[in-house]
Amino acid sequence: MTVHFHEEDLPADALGPGDVAVDTETMGLITPRDRLCVVQISDGSGDEHLVRFGPDSDYAAPNLRVILADPDRVKLYHFGRFDLAAIDHYLNVTAAPVFCTKIASRLVRTYTDRHGLKELVKELLGKDISKQQQSSDWGGPELSDAQRDYAASDVRFLHELREEFVTRLKREGRMEMAQACFDFLPRRAELDLMGWPEIDIFAHS
C-alpha cells in the first residue's frame, strides 16, 4: 500500500482499469469561495493517489479529468454530493456515474444515525481510521504526512464498502432506489452550485 503524491495532475498511467474511489479536500465548505486543494483517487488495488492544486492553479489536469469524466468508470464517494460540486466547479467535469456510501448507509443502516466514514469502516470492515486532520489547512505549501495519510484513507476503503452495501441493498430490496438516488446526485450537486443548497425543492413549503 503506497500513497502517491502529484502536483496539478495525475500521471497518465497511474491507475488501472475499472471503478475508482474519489474524494476531495477544500479550503472550506462553500464551494465557490473555498478552493479545491486536493483530489484523492484510487482504483482499489491498494495504492492511493493525491493530486494537489496550488492557489494559482488553472485546474487543467487533463489526465485526471479524463478519468473523472469516463462514463464507463463508476466513481465511489462518501458524501458524493459535496465532491461532485467541487469537481464540477473547479475541474468542469461531471464525475459520474456515482455510488455514494453515505446514501447507501442511510438506506440500509436505518438502525443508527451515525453514517460517517469512520463509523462505516469500523462497523462494516472492522478497521479504524483517524479523522484528526479533517479540518486542517489543505491550502498550505506543504502537506504533512498526517494530512496525506488522512486524505488517502478517505478513498482507501470505498471499494470494500461498496461491495458490502450492494449486498445489503439487495437484501433489503432497496438497490433500485439507491441507484435512482445515485443517478440524481450530480443534479443535486448542480442545484447546490446554483444556490439551492439547503432548500428542498420537492417540499410543499
Task: Give domain limits for the chain.
Answer: 3-194
pLDDT digits (tens, 9 = 90+) for 66-90: 999 999 999 999 999 999 999 999 9
DSSP helix/strand/coil, 184:
helix
Entry pTM: 0.95
pLDDT digits (tens, 9 = 90+) for 53-66: 999 999 999 999 99
What class, spelled out in words, does domain 3-194 have in CATH?
alpha beta
Report how far residue 3's alpha carbon sits from residue 72's, in angstroms, rounded to the nearest whole number: 25
135 has pLDDT over 80:
no
The DSSP call for residue 122 is: I
Poorest-pLDDT segment among 6-15, 31-40, 128-137, 186-195: 128-137
Per-residue buried b or exposed e for 145-167, using 16+ beta carbons within 10 Å of the residue's own CB = eebbbbbbbbbbbbbbbbebbee
